């Protein structure tokens, strides 16, 4: 039997979209391998999301009651469930949290791991994982040869497909163990805004926005679209916006459905972070800017005229 375990993720007590994405991806794999999909949710009051995951393909849901995220205890909990359920494939989110605890899960389970996967298929009874490598300038296909195979999956890379599973819910209480790292305090003041790395639409600004006083021009568009605000390194280095907004090789890697680059030239280090976006809109005064080489829709024009007009137009059609 080749069963699949997916580990969901929550934020502020809500189920994240990535949880559904990997459940659907897990369903596809399980169907090809002839196995079942178990979804694991860790947190308090997580039972209420069992139906959501059942609707996108989970045969059953295991819940573990726990407090705030801590990489060490989370790794123990997930490894405990792996030991108990003995899946051959485990899918985890490639999010900040995922990157923090998935390496520990892999070692505890004695499993090979392929991280930041964007494609999953099955060949000869084994999962083949596809991931961008060399800043997106190539793609690699990998199999895991250990009995348990772990993959961390990039947000927005998998389709959510409605497909009813079984829906049985089971509470488990694996040992959390002690954490060697204590969390003293958290500053999550940026926490309620749309998260860059998992956003499905991003409005991003570069040196072309001229100064920090002009973010409202882009934020206006972002608000209408429910989009996250991104930035090039030039804008970050100029001190116009914190580094947490930076997209690129030394910033975040993003794969939104739509990336709107405003006043960004499209340097290779920037493309390294956003080149896998599905649709790219470039708004730039310079018709020869490299960003137009990757843009699906290019607008050669002044962002200070085009972005407000675009905001108005979207307001009209989106109500």
Partner 1 sequence: MKIIVLVKQVPDTETNIKVGDKSINETGIKWIISPYDEFAIEEGLRLREKNGGEVIAVSLGPDRVQESLRQAYAMGADRAVQIKVDNYVPFDTTLTSELIANFAKSENADVIIGGRQSIDSDSSQVVVQVAEALGIAHIAFAVSLEISGTAVKSTKEVEGGTQVVETSLPVAITAQKGLNEPRYPNLKGLMAAKKKPIETKTPADLGNPTSKIEVVGLEPPPPRIPGRKLEAADAKGFAEQLVKALREEAKVI
Ligand X SMILES: Cc1cc2nc3c(=O)[nH]c(=O)nc-3n(C[C@H](O)[C@H](O)[C@H](O)COP(=O)(O)OP(=O)(O)OC[C@H]3O[C@@H](n4cnc5c(N)ncnc54)[C@H](O)[C@@H]3O)c2cc1C
- DSSP letters, 218-279, are HHHHHHHHTPEEEE-HHHHHTTSS-GGGBBSTTSB----SEEEEES----HHHHHHHTT-SE
Of 220, 270, 275, 295, the one binding ligand X by CB under 6 A: 270
**Touching partner 1, residues 160-179 (CB under 8 A):** none
Least distance (Å) from partner 1 to the CB of residue 54? 26
Of 127, 148, 221, 235, the one binding ligand X by CB under 6 A: 235
**Touching ligand X, residues 295-314 (CB under 6 A):** 302-304
With a CB cutoff of 8 Å and minimum separation 6, the contacts of 83 are 109, 174
C-alpha distances in Å from residue 232, one per residue of 116, 173, 199, 255, 312: 22, 44, 16, 15, 25
Residue 22 annotated as part of some ligand binding site: no
Q: Based on C-alpha coordinates, what's the Rg of the chain?
A: 21
Quick one: 80 or 165, whose CB is closer to partner 1? 80
Cα distance from N-terminal residue to C-terminal residue, the chain: 50
Q: How many of the other CB atoms lie within 10 Å of CB of 285?
A: 14
With a CB cutoff of 8 Å and minimum separation 6, the contacts of 275 are 135, 136, 294
Q: Interface with ligand X includes 24 (CB under 6 A)?
A: no
Q: Which does 114 bind (CB under 5 to 8 A by kind): partner 1, ligand X, none?
A: partner 1
- DSSP letters, 59-75, are SEEEEEE--S--HHHHH
β-pair type (112-117, 89-93) = unpaired
Of 155, 220, 251, 266, the one binding partner 1 by CB under 8 A: 251
Of 56, 62, 106, 120, the one binding partner 1 by CB under 8 A: 106
Q: Interface with ligand X includes 3 (CB under 6 A)?
A: no
Q: Which does 232 bind (CB under 5 to 8 A by kind): ligand X, partner 1, none?
A: ligand X
Least distance (Å) from partner 1 to the CB of residue 163? 21
Three-state DSSP at 53 gives helix
Q: Contact, 272 vs 250, CB < 8 A?
A: no
Q: Interface with partner 1 includes 83 (CB under 8 A)?
A: no
Q: Which does 95 bind (CB under 5 to 8 A by kind): ligand X, partner 1, none?
A: partner 1
Stretch that binds ligand X, among 57-65, 95-103, 155-163, 202-210 (CB under 6 A): 202-210
Residue 158: name the closest of 186, 120, 123 by CA.
Answer: 120
Quick one: 26 or 205, whose CB is closer to ligand X? 205
Residue positions forming the annotated binding site: 207, 232-233, 246-250, 263-270, 284
Under the rule (CB under 6 A), what is the footprint of ligand X? 206-208, 232-235, 246-251, 263-265, 267, 269-270, 273, 283-286, 289, 302-304
Annotated binding site for FAD: 207, 232-233, 246-250, 263-270, 284
């Amino acid at each position: 039997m080749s069963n699949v375990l997916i580990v969901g993720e929550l934020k502020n007590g809500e189920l994240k979209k990535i949880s559904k994405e990997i459940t659907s991806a897990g369903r596809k794999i399980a169907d090809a391998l002839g196995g079942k999909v178990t979804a694991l949710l860790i947190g308090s009051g997580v039972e209420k999301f069992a139906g959501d995951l059942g609707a996108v393909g989970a045969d059953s849901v295991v819940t573990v009651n726990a407090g705030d995220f801590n990489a060490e205890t989370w790794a123990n909990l997930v490894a405990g469930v792996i030991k108990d359920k003995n899946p051959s494939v485990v899918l985890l989110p490639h999010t900040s949290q995922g990157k923090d605890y998935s390496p520990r899960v892999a070692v505890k389970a004695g499993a090979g791991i392929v991280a930041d996967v964007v494609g999953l298929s099955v060949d000869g009874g084994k999962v083949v994982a596809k991931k961008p490598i060399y800043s997106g300038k190539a793609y690699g296909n990998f199999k895991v040869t250990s009995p348990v195979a772990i993959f961390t999956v990039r947000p927005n890379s998998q389709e959510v497909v409605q497909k009813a599973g079984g829906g049985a819910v089971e509470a488990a209480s694996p040992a959390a163990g002690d954490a060697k790292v204590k969390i003293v305090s958290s500053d999550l003041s940026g926490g309620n805004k749309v998260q860059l790395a998992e956003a499905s639409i991003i409005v991003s600004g570069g040196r072309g926005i001229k100064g920090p006083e002009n973010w409202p021009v882009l934020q206006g568009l972002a608000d209408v679209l429910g989009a996250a605000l991104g930035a090039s390194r030039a804008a970050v280095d100029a001190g116009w916006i914190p580094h947490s907004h930076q997209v690129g090789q030394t910033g975040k890697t993003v794969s939104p459905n739509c990336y709107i680059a405003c006043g960004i030239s499209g340097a290779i280090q920037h493309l390294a972070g956003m080149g896998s976006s599905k649709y790219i809109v470039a708004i730039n005064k310079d018709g020869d800017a490299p960003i137009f080489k990757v843009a699906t829709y290019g607008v050669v024009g002044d962002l200070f005229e085009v972005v407000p007009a675009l905001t108005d137009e979207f307001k009209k059609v989106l109500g």
